[in-house]
Amino acid sequence: MYEDKTLVCKACGAEFVFTAGEQEFYEKNNLLNEPGRCKACRDARKNATRGERKMYTTVCAECGGEAIVPFEPREGRPSYCSACFAKRSNG
């Protein structure tokens, strides 16, 4: 039903592919306009408006290793490193 389309990024002028799967997603979610920017330019624009995220270093409650988290750790609340967090989320 859908076929990949080659579009031109309005930010950098590079060609990018709007895949059949992406087109189906757009239709399913009632997104009416095709993307105007390539993935790299969309990500750059999103990150520019978001601002820098402050990260905190703490000790992983599961393995005892270093954990870098995007929130300020509090006493009595466990924090996990990326590997232990992933194990807990998938288990």
| CA gap 80, 84 in Å, rounded | 6
**pTM for this entry:** 0.54
Question: What's residue 38's pLDDT?
Answer: 96
According to DSSP, residue 77 is labeled: S
Render pLDDT for 11-67 as a digit per residue (tens, 0 to 9): 999 999 999 999 999 999 999 999 999 999 998 898 887 777 889 999 999 999 999
Please report how many Cα atoms fall inside a 13 Å half-sphere around the Cα of residue 73, on the Cβ side.
18
User: Residue ranges per domain, the chain?
Assistant: 5-50, 56-90
